[in-house]
Structure 1
Amino acid sequence: MKNTFGRWLPAITSTPLRKSAVLAAGLVFASGAVAGPATAAAAASAAPAKTAAAATSATPKAKQLNFRYRAQSTYYFCAPAATSMALSTSGHLISQPKLAALLGTTENGTDSAYETTRVLNQVTGTNFYRTREIPGGYARPWQMDRLQADVVRAIGHGYGVVANVKGTAYDTAGGMHSFEGGHYIAVVGYQDEGRLVRIADSAEPNGDGTYWMTTIKLANWIAERGYSA
């Protein structure tokens, strides 16, 4: 899906995130494969209690990464800008035009989170990043849990997250962020065990370009798109 501006989508609410979500980072993603809810549930029930306790104690409840903010230099460079900010958290400083060439960005935008995942791994020289899709018009509770776990996992290892969002969402201060045809943002921190995330937005040049949002709202903002974490 091209990241061009288009129609408005209403914000959709859902149930609160479960406290077990952070543990899912070790249970759902250990094999590097995308696990469905049934697979995740089976893995959770099979995990020893001491493993879950160790994961909880080892996971910081809040963490923010240092990053270099960059406003997008053209109206269609949101993906290069978001990727640049995510890469800066691990010390990789690359220009938006160079990243645009790697991402295949055109005036129609950047195809999908698969492109940002590919470039993030290419630049970092790792296979750390994976693409997660949230198909359909809204995120289900297990997808919200998985996003929370993915954010905690990535930021816990010092890597920023890139998300492809669509429609309108509100931050914790009540600010509206509307990208009806699509947009890319970076996630550079979290609080409350990942229930709140700090977003670095290349279309928000005022201040430090960041705002906080619940992970539930972010998951619904990503619906129909995907993210790299």
Structure 2
Amino acid sequence: PTPTATATTKGLFTPLKYKLSLKGQRQQTNYFCVPASSSMSLSTFGISVSQSTLAKKMKTTASAGTKGSNALPVINAYVKSRGYKYTSPTDADGNAIVLMNRVSGNIGDLHRAPVLAVWMEKLPWNKGKIKGTKVGHAIIAYGYDKTAGTITVYDPWKPTGGAHTISAATLAGILQPAGNMYYLSKL
């Protein structure tokens, strides 16, 4: 038998642009970027949990920060009963189209803010301000504009953070390849 093409509506009705209403958080310590970003992401579910509670559950340390393998089970425990799960895909690294599709699906369709794993020193607003290379950092995406090709993020780092709009192409180039984001999907 010859294979038949199947049509899907996935992404068909995703708005061209969308921005979530979000209360930004600054990380309470220099190494709380994952707890801060996770707390903001969970807030889009109406779940209020402190950075310190998340940091404790995620085994966050001053020397090593937070490992994704420790963070994912913690945030999944909060959203599972609501019919969602976070996963850590690797296909958006260097791929602006995949990144925009993932971000717009989470924000425009699900109205949730995904956590993004980035190289901190490569963020345009940190140019020349960070010592070292491949400094792992977590931010969240909470808006996008497909026509302009931009993504609006909130960076929880106190010195340079806050709301920033960045091109999807630039952002895709600074994602951590081992796990680009905490991507949300329905169970």
Category of TM-score, reference length = shorter chain: 0.7 to 0.9
Q: Secondary structure at the match of 1:129?
A: strand
2:67: which partner in 1?
111
Say if 2:115 is the partner of 1:162.
yes
C-alpha spacing 1:115/1:217, structure 2 compared with 1 (3 Å): farther
1:129: which partner in 2?
86
- The aligned amino acid for 1:119 is V
For residues 1-229 of structure 1, the aligned pairs below 5 Å read 46-48=5-7, 51=8, 54-55=9-10, 57-107=12-62, 108-112=64-68, 114-125=69-80, 126-133=83-90, 139-141=93-95, 144-155=96-107, 156-166=109-119, 167-170=121-124, 175-176=125-126, 180=133, 181-192=135-146, 195-204=149-158, 209-226=162-179, 227-229=181-183
Cα pair 1:86 1:186 within 8 Å, conserved: yes
Superposition TM-score, scaled by structure 2 size = 0.78
Following superposition, the deviation at residue 225 of structure 1 comes to 3.8
Q: Which runs of 4+ in 1 moved over 6 A?
A: none
Following superposition, the deviation at residue 115 of structure 1 comes to 3.7
- The aligned amino acid for 1:187 is A
Following superposition, the deviation at residue 140 of structure 1 comes to 4.2
Which has more helix, going by share of residues? Answer: 1
**Aligned length in residues:** 171
Larger displacement relative to structure 2 (122-131 or 62-71): 122-131
Give unmatched runs, 5+ long, in structure 1: 1-44
Larger displacement relative to structure 2 (155-164 or 218-227): 218-227
Give unmatched runs, 5+ long, in structure 2: none
C-alpha spacing 1:182/1:57, structure 2 compared with 1 (3 Å): closer
